[in-house]
């Protein structure tokens, strides 16, 4: 009971019930290298950015270096790692749940690549971690992507299917999310499928577990904001935008715009839900009378 209470409280810090979550992933510094805004993360984490965040995702080294900047910000410690210069889809365990708790993390993260040759090992590790995290009362954020390996050894991100067959790509993402949920995810970070209607089916597959969308490749500002707005409209819990922030010349201005869009759409969604609820009550009342 106490472990469950602790898990709920930690998760609510990352995913507040009254506003959209805005996470800043910094783990790309290990995956792709400390480039762009990740060369000096302390400088990136200005107060004007941090004040708008509900979570930061990263590895222990970054959190140690940025203790001052993140002293009041919930953190998610990634326990899985790989780099783009080797077997990118082969995630290996690089820490423990206890490590994350000692670092003051509100959650751990583990990455699974659906259709990777290393998928089975990742699923086994995730199941074990989720069991351990449950016992210790810490949420598990599962990063779940459709990502395999082409014959030449490069990543298969299903870009052709994504562009030409939205339903086929959405099936892949739905499967990613259900994998994560069935193995004990407290929240899932995954890929936006391109439309409100398609992403609603992804959220349905999550069976009530909160889902946030990844930012992916750097897009122009209107496109990045529109994707965030559509995800919230569909019912997502928020966004996890990394490259959309740290690769920009003016990350502060972008984060401020993003937070405004998220807040406005969150309010609009709540208004629509209230209206629907009131309409349902009215219809029920008419039938009873």
pLDDT digits (tens, 9 = 90+) for 57-111: 999 999 999 999 999 999 999 999 999 999 999 999 999 999 999 999 999 999 9
| CATH domain 2-288 topology | TIM Barrel (3.20.20)
pLDDT computed for residue 6 by the predictor? 83
- For residue 49, CA distances in Å to 41, 91, 188, 250, 251 come to 12, 30, 23, 11, 8
Reported as a pLDDT band with limits 50, 70 and 90, residue 273 is confident
Percent of the chain exceeding pLDDT 70 equals 95
Catalytic residues: 145, 189
pLDDT computed for residue 285 by the predictor? 60
pLDDT computed for residue 286 by the predictor? 62
Please name the residue that has the structure tokens 């990118």. 88
pTM confidence score: 0.94
């Amino acid at each position: 009971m106490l472990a469950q209470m602790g898990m709920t409280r930690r998760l609510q810090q990352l995913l507040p019930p009254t506003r959209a979550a805005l996470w800043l992933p910094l783990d790309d510094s290990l995956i792709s290298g400390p480039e762009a805004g990740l060369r000096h993360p302390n400088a990136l984490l200005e107060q004007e950015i941090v004040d708008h965040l509900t979570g930061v995702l990263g590895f222990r080294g970054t959190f140690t270096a940025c203790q001052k900047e993140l002293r009041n910000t919930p953190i998610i410690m990634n326990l899985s790692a790989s780099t783009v210069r080797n077997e990118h889809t082969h995630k290996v365990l690089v820490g423990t749940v206890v490590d994350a708790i000692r670092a003051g993390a509100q959650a751990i993260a583990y990455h699974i690549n659906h259709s990777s040759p290393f998928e089975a090992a990742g699923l086994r590790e995730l199941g074990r971690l989720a069991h351990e995290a449950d016992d210790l009362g810490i949420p598990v954020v599962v990063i779940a992507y459709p990502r395999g390996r082409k014959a030449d050894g490069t990543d298969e991100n299903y870009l052709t299917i994504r562009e030409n067959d939205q339903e086929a790509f959405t099936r892949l993402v739905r499967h990613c999310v259900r994998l994560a949920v069935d193995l004990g995810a407290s929240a899932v970070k995954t890929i936006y499928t391109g439309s409100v209607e398609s992403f609603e089916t992804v959220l349905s597959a999550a069976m009530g577990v909160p889902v946030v969308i990844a930012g992916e490749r750097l897009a122009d500002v209107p496109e990045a904001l529109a994707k965030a707005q559509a995800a919230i409209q569909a019912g997502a819990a928020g966004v996890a935008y990394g490259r959309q922030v740290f690769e920009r010349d003016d990350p502060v201005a972008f984060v401020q715009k993003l937070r405004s869009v998220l807040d406005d759409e969150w309010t609009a969604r709540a208004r629509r839900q209230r209206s629907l609820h009131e309409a349902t009550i009215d219809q029920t009342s008419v039938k009873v009378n």
